[in-house]
Amino acid sequence: MKFEHRKRSGESYGLVSRSSKLLARDDCVDANPANTLTDRLNTLLNSSGPGYVLDLCPSTQYLIQAPILFAAPDQEIRTLGEPFGDERATLVVNGPVSNGVGHTTAVDGTCGNCNGVRLRHVQINGTRLGAPPTGGGANIEMGGPNNGQLVEFVHSFDPRSWSCLHVAEGPFTCDNVTVQNNDIGPAGSDQFQQWADGISVSCQNSLVRNNTVNNPTDGGIVLFGSPGTVVENNTIFVETQTLLGGINMVDYEPWGGNYTNTIVRNNSIFGGFSTDTPTPGEEDGANQDDVIIKIGIAIGPRTWFGNQYGLNVSANGMVLNNQLSGAFGYGIAITSATNFTVSDNILVGNTSFIGASGPNCSSTATTPTPAPFVIQQNNTLASSIQTNFTPIADGDGMTCILPPDGGDFWPFGGNPANPIAGQSTSSSSGLSGGAKAGIAIGVIAGVILLAAAAWFIRKAALARAKPKVMPWDRVGYVRNKEEVTPQT
């Protein structure tokens, strides 16, 4: 039986039932023998030319010893049949590590001839396993001197290095990369300087949308300038680890602080919630891991790096219609910025703003009191900022704060992955009319979806023995939200 099947884009194959335990097959690359696997995968990409589709077998782990390298335009790596969940093939970063360096990257799309390459419907296990970070690249390295790349329906987690997914410029600027519908994280440790990002992007004119970033520790989504990039409809939340920043627009390099037409909009960011079971009348409780997001959205290099970049600023970006819920140090923090537009960002459900100066805070400056929206006005210039921001005297290095060590300071509500039974996500001000209508619509839609699902399940069961091409694709989901007026 031949396992190194070579297929060009446009060829199709029937699907095997997703519930079956798959054996070795001749239309996807066998993971065995493991000692030749990395070479076999790279040989297929190197020898097959533009448009080649490398199909991995569903529900299979691939123990790789070095990065898998795209080698020509429009190549694709995917799981055969494009499944979701744990039926996606898993590339396991399994190469040697010694003295803090070694194998960190599973897939690399930064070659000089990698326009249009695609990574789809796979999982990447970085196998950090609680160890300190290893020097090297991210789980997934895309970008380089290329354009038109795509990463979608990928679960990337536990990177050995500093990021689950890194989309970066090369000798020439990369352009027009789409990162969508991915499940990212957990990433890194919240121990000092053992952090890791979820998604980090510096390519211009890119699109980052409909991703879920769970339990990162450095930045959920980090924008290194990335002019022309849109970041929208993403969900970022924490469970057991404190996160420094949900969405970061703080890095001066490599674009010199240029965030022109970089738009962050319609994202949902969830800080920590109480892990207690509430009793009637309780509004807040403890969190067993003391988890918060220190800054929900950070704008300007001084919020992060203090005076490291002197008078340099982040310029020309837009932050619109984002929603924050749970426990934070600061919801949105702005310093050292110019020509930014920040508008219509709100708090939803239950929130709290907590934290105090930590050992890395400046001994000569006053750390701002935690608050929903804060701005240092004397170095934020020519900007249009929503009116409910609290002025602060010094916004340098606000990630130095630490969450409380215990205590009933966390709001009840529960994170998106694991809401606590009996907890309410409503505000004391009650539901708005729009929210009530949204819930009603959501209930009706849910009934319709359940009925449709039952019909499709029955139809699939009847036709299971027949090979077929998947007639549908997942495009996202709808979650009802309860809105409250932003607090000052």
197-219 residue pLDDT tens: 999 999 999 999 999 999 999 99
Residues in contact with 456: Cβ distance below 8 Å, sequence separation at least 6, in sequence order = none
Distances in whole angstroms, Cα of residue 458 to Cα of each of 4, 15, 192, 453, 464: 35, 17, 52, 9, 10
The percentage of residues in the chain with a pLDDT greater than 90, rounded to a whole number, is 74
pLDDT of residue 281: 85
pTM for this prediction: 0.82
pLDDT of residue 25: 53
Mean pLDDT of 86-106: 96
Summarize pLDDT for 235-270 with one digit per residue, the tens. Answer: 999 999 999 999 999 999 999 999 999 999 999 999
pLDDT of residue 13: 32
Pick the most confident of 12-16, 342-346, 443-447.
342-346
Q: What is the mean pLDDT of the chain?
A: 84
> Please, what is the end-to-end C-alpha distance for the chain in angstroms?
67
Summarize pLDDT for 299-308 with one digit per residue, the tens. Answer: 999 999 999 9
Name which of 72-76, 167-171, 203-207, 337-341 the model is least confident about. 167-171
pLDDT of residue 142: 98
Task: State which CATH number among 3.40.50, 1.25.10, 2.60.40, 2.160.20 fits the domain covering 7-463.
Answer: 2.160.20
Pick the most confident of 14-23, 201-210, 423-432, 463-472.
201-210
